[in-house]
C-alpha cells in the first residue's frame, strides 16, 4: 500500500532550514499507525509529503497504491493533473476541522470523492460506514447544523467513500473534548478494521491514542532535523 525508504523533505532556507526524515515505513491494508511528536516537529510536513502535497527532497523508495506506483516518477513527470488524480484515487483525508464543504449536504459531501472519480454515488462499504458511524439521520443536513464530533464522523466517511486504500488523518480530534475524541477514535478504528483500511494518523495527543494499542512513529528532534522512528517494533514495519 505505502512503502517508504530513506525519505527526506526540507522546509525553509539557510539558517531556518528544517529537514524531516522517515528512514522506513511499510503500511499494508488494515494497519493503523500514529505519527506523534511535539508541536513543530514536522508531523504535518510528513503528512503533506505522504499525501503527495509536498515534494520530497529525496526518497530511495516511495510507492503508493495497490499498483505500487512510483511517486518519484510521478513528480518527475511534472503533470499536476496526474498527481491530483492519483491522490484523489488512492488517498483519503481527514482534516482537523473536517474540511466539509458548507454548501453540500452531508450525503453530497460524503459521495463527492466518488463523483469526482466518476464512480456511482452508492457503495456497500459507504452504507456500512454510515451505519457504523451513526450518520443515517444526518444525511440531509448541512455541515453548519452538525456538532464538531458529527462533522469529524462525516469527514471519516468521506475519506473512505472512494475506497482509497490509505487514509491520512491530520489531528482529527484536535477540536474535540477527550471523551468525544475517544469515542470518535473508537468508531474510526473499528471502521478501518471493518473495511481493511490502512490509516496513518497524525496526533500530538498520544495519551488519547495509547489506549488503542496502535504502533507509532515518534519524532526524534535534532537541531534542524526531525527523524520519525518507530517506537515499538510493530506491524507497521
Partner 1 sequence: MFVNVFRLAWADLRFDWRISFCMVAAMVAVVAPLLLLFGLKHGVVTQLQQELLQDPRNLEVKMLSSGSFDQAWLNKLRQMPGVGYAIGMTRSLNTQADLRLDRRRFLENVEVLASAQGDLLLQTQARDLSPNEIILTQEAARRLNWTAGESVHLRLNRRLDGQLEQGNKAMTVVDVLAEHRYSRPAVFVAPETLLALEYARDGFQIPDFSLLTGKPLATDMPVLYARARVYASTIDQVGEVAKGLEQQGIPVASRYADIENVRAINRVLSLIFGVIALTAIVGCAASLGGAFLANVDRKRKDLAVLRLLGIDSGGVIRYVLIQAILLSLLAYALGLGLYGLGSTLFNQLLVGDGLQTDFVCRITLAHALYALLMVAGLACVVAAIGAWRAVRVQPAESLREI
Query: Which residues contact partner 1 by CB under 8 A?
Result: 44, 47-48, 51, 53-54, 80-81, 84-85, 87-89, 93, 95-97, 99-104, 108, 112-113, 115-117, 142, 170
Range list of β-strands (E), 79-165: 91-94
Give dist(CA 166, CA 49) in Å, integer.
14
Dihedral angle sign, alpha carbons of residues 187, 189, 194, 200: positive
In the block, residue with C-alpha cell 477514535: 185
Give dist(CA 92, CA 195) in Å, integer.
13
Between 12 and 134, name the residue whose CB sits nearer to partner 1. 12
- Do 132 and 83 contact (CB within 8 A), yes or no? no
Between 97 and 132, name the residue whose CB sits nearer to partner 1. 97
- Min CB(177)–partner 1 separation in Å: 18
- Min CB(83)–partner 1 separation in Å: 9
Between 93 and 190, name the residue whose CB sits nearer to partner 1. 93
Q: What residues pair up with 61 in beta bridges, in sequence order?
A: 5
Between 147 and 237, name the residue whose CB sits nearer to partner 1. 147
- Min CB(82)–partner 1 separation in Å: 9
Give dist(CA 225, CA 41) in Å, integer.
9
- Min CB(226)–partner 1 separation in Å: 17
Amino acid at each position: 500500500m505505502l512503502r517508504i525508504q530513506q525519505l527526506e523533505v526540507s522546509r525553509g532556507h539557510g539558517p531556518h532550514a528544517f529537514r524531516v526524515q522517515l528512514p522506513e515505513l511499510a503500511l499494508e491494508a488494515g494497519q493503523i499507525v500514529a505519527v506523534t511528536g511535539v508541536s513543530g516537529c514536522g508531523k504535518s510536513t510528513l503528512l503533506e509529503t505522504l499525501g503527495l502535497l509536498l515534494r520530497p527532497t529525496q526518497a530511495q523508495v516511495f510507492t503508493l497504491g495497490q499498483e505500487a506506483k512510483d511517486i518519484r516518477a510521478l513528480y518527475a513527470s511534472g503533470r499536476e493533473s496526474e498527481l491530483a488524480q492519483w491522490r484523489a484515487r488512492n488517498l483519503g483525508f481527514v482534516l482537523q476541522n473536517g474540511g466539509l464543504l458548507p454548501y453540500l449536504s452531508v450525503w453530497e459531501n460524503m459521495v463527492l470523492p466518488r463523483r469526482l472519480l466518476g464512480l456511482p454515488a452508492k457503495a456497500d462499504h459507504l452504507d456500512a460506514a454510515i451505519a457504523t458511524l451513526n450518520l443515517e439521520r444526518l444525511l440531509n443536513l448541512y455541515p453548519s447544523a452538525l456538532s464538531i464530533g458529527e462533522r469529524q464522523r462525516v469527514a471519516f466517511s468521506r475519506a473512505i467513500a472512494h475506497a482509497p486504500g490509505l487514509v491520512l488523518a491530520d489531528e482529527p480530534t484536535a477540536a474535540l473534548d477527550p471523551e468525544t475524541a475517544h469515542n470518535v477514535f473508537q468508531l474510526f478504528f473499528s471502521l478501518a478494521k471493518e473495511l481493511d483500511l490502512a490509516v496513518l494518523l497524525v496526533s500530538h495527543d498520544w495519551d488519547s491514542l495509547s489506549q488503542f494499542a496502535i504502533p507509532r512513529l515518534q519524532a526524534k528532534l535534532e537541531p534542524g532535523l526531525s527523524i520519525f522512528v518507530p517506537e515499538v517494533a510493530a506491524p507497521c514495519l
